[in-house]
Amino acid sequence: YVVSDPIISKGTGNQIFVLMIPFERDGKVVAYLGGAVLIKPLQDLVRTMKIGRTGYAYLNDSTGTIAAHKVKEIELKNNILKGIGDTRDENEGLYRVTRLMIEGKSGVTIYKYKGAKKYVYYNPVPGTSWSVALTVPETELTESANFITIQSVIGFLILLGIMVVVIIIISSQINKSVN
């Protein structure tokens, strides 16, 4: 089967993709069955995916065009490889990740977007030339570790304070008994 990139239907104005299934006889393709499929249910599904407090999912087609995103207004309008309102230099990391996505690669990497470091996990969508990405700010991933570190330091300082008080009490008792 073949799945096209998402497009806007000239007849209805709906966002769709085309699905084609070949029929073979004696090892040769004799016919195709195809049809337009609304992409809206898939876009709705992607929009509901949340990671952490502000992390989200998005879907790119084979050209870098955003097919599904939490910001509905950019779907099928913004292409990361052609710029997204900012200069490419400001979003070089996002550009690199998108290149990897359209090459069919999967992985995890860090990129900067509008000055904020973000982690992104990306993977191709099987049977298509699309890729899905899950992105979350680095600060959200490190909050728990930072909290644990702060709690450990506070606990250590309290323990150290208690030890100092105990040492002072014991040494004053020893000092009194020597005098």
Confidence of residue 144 (pLDDT cuts 50, 70, 90): low
Closest CA to 131 of 51, 49, 80, 58: 58
> What is the model's pLDDT at position 85?
53
> What is the model's pLDDT at position 104?
94
Q: What is the DSSP letter of 90?
A: G
Contact between 21 and 1 under an 8 Å Cβ cutoff? The reply is yes
Q: How far apart are CA 130 and CA 3, in angstroms?
A: 9
Confidence of residue 121 (pLDDT cuts 50, 70, 90): very high
171 class by beta-carbon count within 10 Å (0-12 exposed, 13-18 middle, 19+ buried)? exposed
Please indicate whether residue 91 or residue 16 has the higher confidence score (pLDDT): 16
How does pLDDT run across 12-65, given as a tens digit for each residue?
Answer: 999 999 999 999 999 999 999 999 999 999 999 999 998 888 999 999 999 999
Q: What is the DSSP letter of 83?
A: B
* Percent of the chain with pLDDT strictly greater than 70: 91
Please indicate whether residue 115 or residue 13 has the higher confidence score (pLDDT): 13
For residues 126-140, average pLDDT: 92
Cβ-based neighbours of 60, under 8 Å, separated by 6 or more: 66, 67, 80, 98, 101, 102, 130, 131, 132, 133
How does pLDDT run across 72-85, given as a tens digit for each residue?
Answer: 999 999 888 886 55
For 26-115, list the strands marked E by DSSP.
Answer: 28-38, 50-51, 55-60, 66-68, 107-113
Query: How big is the CA angle at 142 (ends 80 and 101), to the nearest 5 degrees?
Result: 25
> What is the model's pLDDT at position 52?
84
For the chain, what is the mean pLDDT?
A: 86
Per the listing, tokens 């004799």 go with 30
